[in-house]
Structure 1
Amino acid sequence: MKEGPDIAQIGALIGDPARANMLTALMSGKALTATELAGTAGVTLQTASSHLSKLEAGGLIGQRKQGRHRYFALSDDDVGLLLESLMGFAASRGFTRHRTGPKDPALRKARVCYNHLAGDYGVRMLDSFVAEEVIAGTGDDLMLTAAAHQRMAALGIDLAALARQRRPVCRTCLDWSERRSHLAGSLGEALLSMFLEKGWARRLPDSRAVHFTAGGETAFSALFGPPA
Structure 2
Amino acid sequence: MNLKVSKTAVDETDYLETSMSVVASAIADPSRVSILCALMDGRAWTATELSTVANIAASTTSAHLAKLLNSRLVTCLSQGRHRYYRLAGSDIAALLETLMVVSMHSGKTLETKTPSHLRVARTCYDHMAGEVAVGIYNFMFKEGWFSPDGNLLSPTGTLQFQNMGVLIDPNSRRKSSCACLDWSERRFHLGGGAGAALMLFFEQKGWITKIAGYREVVITEKGKVAFLRLFQLTVN
Deviant stretches of 4+, over 4 Å: 94-99
Pairwise mapping of residues 138-157 of structure 1 onto structure 2 (< 5 A)? 141-157=150-166
2:195 maps to which of 185, 188, 192: 188
- Cα shift readout 1:47-94 (whole Å, capped 9, x = no counterpart): 101110110010000010122111000001111110000011111225
Per the normalisation by structure 2, the TM-score is 0.87
Alpha-carbon distance, 1:213 to partner:
1.1
2:53: which partner in 1?
A: 40
Q: 1:214 Cα deviation (Å)? A: 1.6
1:179-211 Cα deviation digits (max 9, x unpaired): 011100111001001111111110123321100
For structure 2, the 5+ residue unaligned runs are 1-9
CA positional deviation for 1:97? 8.5
Post-superposition Cα deviations, 1:88-130, rounded to whole Å, max 9, x if no partner, equal: 11112257888947xx111111100011000011111111111
Post-superposition offset of 1:142 = 2.9
Map residues 89-108 of structure 1 onto 2, 5 A cutoff. Answer: 89-93=102-106, 100=113, 104-108=115-119
Q: Which amino acid aligns with 1:84?
A: E
User: Is the CA contact (8 Å cut-off) linking 1:170 and 1:186 kept in structure 2?
Assistant: yes
Question: 1:181, 1:98 → 2: CA distance?
Answer: 21
Number of equivalences: 222
1:58 and 2:71 equivalent?
yes
Q: Give unmatched runs, 5+ long, in structure 1.
A: none
Equivalent position SS for 2:78: strand
Distance 2:96 2:157 in 1: 29
Q: Which residue of structure 1 lines up, in the alignment, with residue 4 of structure 2? A: none
CA contact (8 A) 1:90 1:96 kept: no
Backbone CA RMSD of aligned residues: 2.1
In structure 2, what is the equivalent of residue 133 of structure 1? 144
Letter in 2 for 1:168: K
Equivalent position of 2:43 in the other structure: 30
Residue in 2 aligned with 1:49?
A: 62
Q: Please identify the structure whose Cα radius of gyration is greater.
A: 2
Q: In the alignment, which residue of structure 2 is the partner of 1:220?
A: 227
Letter in 2 for 1:202: T
In 1: Cα distance, 2:102 partner to 2:113 partner: 19
1:203 matched to 2:210? The reply is yes
Residues of 2 paired with 1:155 and 1:82: CA distance? 30
Contact 2:147-2:153 at 8 Å conserved across structures: yes
